[in-house]
Amino acid sequence: MPYMRGGDFGDLYVQVNTEIPVSLNKEQKDLLEKFREIENEKSNPSIKKFFQKAKSFWKN
């Protein structure tokens, strides 16, 4: 990122906070399932891994 009063560039730090739901109600589960159906798993392998992990998490 450029400094406001100069021509130099500095570092850009980003902090991301992610919340993972502990439990889902029926409507939330249905929406997540619909999202999975809409999303093309072949276009992004990390999406497939996410849904595999989510599925195994909620089965327990």
Is the full-model pTM beyond 0.75? no
Cα angle 53-57-58, degrees, rounded to a multiple of 5: 125
Domain coordinates of the chain in residue numbers?
A: 26-59
Half-sphere exposure of 26 (CA within 13 A, CB side): 0
pLDDT higher than threshold 70 for residue 11 = yes
User: What's residue 30's pLDDT?
Assistant: 92
Residue pLDDT, tens place only, 16-59: 998 888 888 999 989 988 887 887 655 666 666 777 777 777 77
Residue pLDDT, tens place only, 46-57: 666 777 777 777
